[in-house]
């Protein structure tokens, strides 16, 4: 199965997902939205949208973000399997009518995420412990779009995960590794504490993150056969 990756920022890549997707038999095609590259609209092959240092509020300054929103509107309507991470989730929320906030509900570092009652019955969180352990690195946040199912939350940021038909938005980062976390800490002068905590909990983080990816790809494989 081919998996399309939408990358908005060269500094925010696929991380651990790259090796895991390959190990699971997937074929990766990366599209650089900041270079005006987009996946074909006609297939139902799954798409993973990555994060970025920019935000939804930068759409006028960075027109490719608005193009991403427009692309999302068409693909959600086609019920294409989508997994939107951090900035990707904010763009997805905006595309579906949710409100996105700049510099509100910020989180950085390892977090414990509570899965809601709806999330406990959702395929994305199948066989993942509650709470799940993940990694956050966001300054912006969103309210759930109208009609979306609320799947996961933290005390600081209630909008951690939502689902709308075959599209999921996850505010946290299930794809990072030690090198990525170290780079982000360096770029933002966060010191070493987020990296040290990540290293202490990386095994459980990797376990939960890989299972989440497997669940999404399993759903996408079944959806592609319908």
Paired with 169 in beta bridges are 84, 162
Select which of 4, 94, 138, 173 is catalytic: 173
Residue 217: which pLDDT band, with cuts at 50, 70 and 90? very high
86 catalytic? Reply is yes
175 catalytic? Reply is yes
Select which of 45, 107, 153, 175 is catalytic: 175
pLDDT tens for each residue of 1-42: 999 999 999 889 999 999 999 999 999 999 999 999 988 888
pLDDT tens for each residue of 114-172: 999 999 999 999 999 999 999 999 999 999 999 999 999 999 999 999 999 999 999 99
Select which of 86, 94, 107, 157 is catalytic: 86
Q: Angle at the Cα of 82 (from 79 to 114), degrees rounded to 5? A: 115
Q: Got the DSSP string for 149-193?
A: EEEEE-SS-S-SEEEETTEEEESSBSS--HHHHHHHHHHHT--SH
> What are the structural domains, with CATH classification, of the chain?
2-224 (3.40.50.880)
CA distance 77 to 67: 16
33 catalytic? Reply is no
């Amino acid at each position: 199965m081919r998996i399309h990756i939408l990358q908005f920022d060269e500094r925010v890549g696929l991380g651990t997902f790259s090796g895991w997707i390959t190990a699971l038999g997937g074929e990766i095609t990366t599209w650089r939205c900041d270079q005006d590259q987009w996946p074909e609209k006609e297939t139902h092959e799954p798409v993973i949208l990555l994060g970025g240092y920019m935000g939804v509020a930068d759409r006028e300054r960075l027109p490719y973000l608005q193009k991403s929103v427009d692309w999302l509107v068409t693909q959600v309507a086609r019920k294409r399997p989508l997994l939107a991470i951090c900035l990707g989730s904010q763009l997805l929320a905006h595309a579906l009518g949710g409100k996105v906030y700049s510099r509100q509900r910020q989180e950085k570092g390892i977090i414990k995420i509570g899965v809601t009652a709806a999330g406990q019955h959702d395929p994305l969180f199948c066989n993942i412990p509650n709470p799940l352990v993940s990694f956050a690195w966001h300054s912006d946040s969103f309210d759930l779009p109208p009609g979306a199912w609320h799947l996961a939350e933290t005390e600081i940021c209630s909008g951690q995960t939502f689902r709308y038909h075959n599209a999921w938005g996850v505010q946290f980062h299930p794809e990072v590794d030690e090198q990525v976390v170290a780079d982000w800490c360096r770029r933002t002068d966060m010191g070493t504490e987020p990296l040290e905590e990540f290293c202490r909990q990386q095994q459980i983080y990797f376990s939960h993150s890989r299972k989440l990816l497997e669940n999404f790809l399993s759903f996408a494989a079944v959806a592609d056969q319908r």
